[in-house]
Structure 1
């Protein structure tokens, strides 16, 4: 339920995708936009883009939006600058959604096998991402506390966000 923001934020718009924002990054890698999440996502994205600023599209706050059969992503802090909707907050078609494993997760998943990218079902990506729901710092300026997404599991998966993402990825 939107409320009137304080004057400093008055020109900002509340995101229409507040329930599908996750702790992820967007990077243009070899001309295609990838969403990275998990452990070391920003370092991996910066390494894959040779630290080119124009290929670093979003950090730590990405809205996932379904457009027909295409999954899109954009930088979204749950508040949008209306003057930057076509650049800072532009929607990008996603070529890949990647979950970066920690050292311990990598050792467990690969044991003595060579490291490789592994395809997983969309619902599994949704489950992995639901561990990283982004609690935007400005949400209180636009939503009343009773309308905030609520966390219902020990993994901090938001009840509205994780089901929304699974629906987006289905």
Structure 2
């Protein structure tokens, strides 16, 4: 009993080195859920960043594909992409300004280059426009979505057994 009271008196004695030291340098205790929670949050953020990059890539593709279009639907798609790029409102999560800030892209620089690309494209005769290459953003993807290609049906390779009759 005497040992227990001595130990307690050392822990609570503010002048004792043994009493102060454990409180100053005690290791932080983390539960496994707390440790792995940070890793999960990074994955979620990475997924959101990939989604934002995909949105930006799609907008650039629409802008480039339908620039100088003559059909009403194509002109509307181009106009929507152009309006999205040149809108300065950053209150919406998936606005151009918000996506650029998350992806660490200078929005003004991006806009200037889009305008320069559009002016160069529209300055070309229509025959040359078809040959101008499109800018492509490379996203770190695990999967690539390809257009649907129907599979060939396997031919019935079972050979009829010769009949003995």
Structure with greater proportional strand content: 1
Shared fold (TM-score, shorter chain, > 0.5):
no
Structure with greater proportional helix content: 2
Q: TM-score, normalised by structure 1?
A: 0.26
Structure whose CA Rg is larger: 2
Q: TM-score, normalised by structure 2?
A: 0.27
